[in-house]
Structure 1
Amino acid sequence: MNENQKSKPLLLIAIVATLVVCAATGIMLLQTIQPENSSWFPKCQFYQATGIHCPGCGATRAVLALLHGDVLLALRNNALLILGGPLLVIYIVRQNRRPNFDPRSTLRVVLIMVTVFVLFFAARNIPSPKSSPFAPVPTAK
């Protein structure tokens, strides 16, 4: 086993540990500081400037709803994140476990992801950003 092969598992462990620490920190922040009641959480700059929902709008509220066990509210706030996020993680894990993979398959997946992203962006704003069934649930003020 050469030096490069020995360092790969250590790098993977470091990456996973960093992701776990970041996720745990984010979960603790969401549990202690409610996004609706605090200006600490950033607002969507695209929505602030245009009044149009980007594909990421409602992601914080969706994660918070998931933490509280409300899957339907999470889906209502950002279905792309809730449904697509786990699928993306599964794809990345599967690709990294394959010794030989075809780069064309990665290109196909990227094209599919971009298409879904654009379609979700359009669906969130048709017929209007306020009346679309895919728009995030408005926050109570």
Structure 2
Amino acid sequence: MADIGRRGSDRLRSVLAPLGVAAAAGVVFAVVGTIDPNEPGHYPTCPFLWATGLYCPGCGTLRTIHALAHLDPAAALGLNPLAVAMIPFLVFWWGRWLVRALQGRPRRTSLAHPAWLWAFLALVLVYWVVRNLPFGAFLAP
């Protein structure tokens, strides 16, 4: 009987991490949805943009989250389409983590197959370069 109680408490403990990440994401979503990043003085400037005058892959993400919080996906896509495209993948990986925790299965040691991670890194680098070129201006925030 004690073994059953221990397994239950271990399962509860393993679920706390994904639930904590969801709570933190919810707080970020609420804060950025409430405090408008379009108004100067609320958030710091992107250090890469400040230093180089070029957009990094994350530039526009705060305004993207703000637009999504206000149910404006068209504006969000115009600010950072890569961030918007990543959301379903992040939700999928978080859901997979939560399900594994609920089932009492051990955490996976890797987020995804290395080939997928390298492909994602290549995509981010190409996005970073293209959004700073004249023909990629539509990707700029």
Same-fold call, TM cutoff 0.5: yes
Q: Provide the C-alpha distance between the structure 2 equivalents of 1:53 and 1:7, rounded to a whole number of angstroms.
A: 46
Q: Is the 8 A contact 2:131 2:139 kept in 1?
A: yes
Structure 1 segment 64-83 matched on structure 2, within 5 A: 64-83=66-85
Shift in alpha-carbon separation, 1:90–1:65, aligned structure 2, 3 A: same
Q: Provide the C-alpha distance between the structure 1 equivalents of 2:10 and 2:71, rounded to a whole number of angstroms.
A: 36
Q: Which of 45, 54, 57 is residue 59 of structure 2 equivalent to?
A: 57
Where does residue 24 of structure 1 map in the other structure?
Answer: 26
SS in 2 for 1:30: helix
Residue 106 of structure 1 aligns with an amino acid whose one-letter code is: H
Task: Kindly indicate whether structure 1 or structure 2 has the higher relative contact order, using CA contacts under 8 Å at least 6 residues apart.
Answer: 2
Structure 1 segment 88-107 matched on structure 2, within 5 A: 88-91=90-93, 93-94=95-96, 97=100, 106-107=113-114
Q: Which runs of 5+ in 1 are unaligned?
A: 137-141
Q: Which of 106, 109, 112 is residue 116 of structure 2 equivalent to?
A: 109
Q: Provide the C-alpha distance between the structure 2 equivalents of 1:3 and 1:115, rounded to a whole number of angstroms.
A: 46
Q: TM-score, normalised by structure 2?
A: 0.75
SS in 1 for 2:45: coil
Residue 81 of structure 1 aligns with an amino acid whose one-letter code is: A
Deviation at 1:37, TM superposition (A): 2.1
Residue 114 of structure 1 aligns with an amino acid whose one-letter code is: L
Q: Provide the C-alpha distance between the structure 1 equivalents of 2:94 and 2:68, rounded to a whole number of angstroms.
A: 22
Q: TM-score, normalised by structure 1?
A: 0.75
Shift in alpha-carbon separation, 1:80–1:3, aligned structure 2, 3 A: farther
Deviation at 1:8, TM superposition (A): 5.2
Q: Is the 8 A contact 2:33 2:70 kept in 1?
A: no
Q: Provide the C-alpha distance between the structure 2 equivalents of 1:4 and 1:87, rounded to a whole number of angstroms.
A: 33
Give the aligned length.
Answer: 133
Deviation at 1:2, TM superposition (A): 9.4
SS in 2 for 1:82: helix
Q: Percent identity?
A: 28
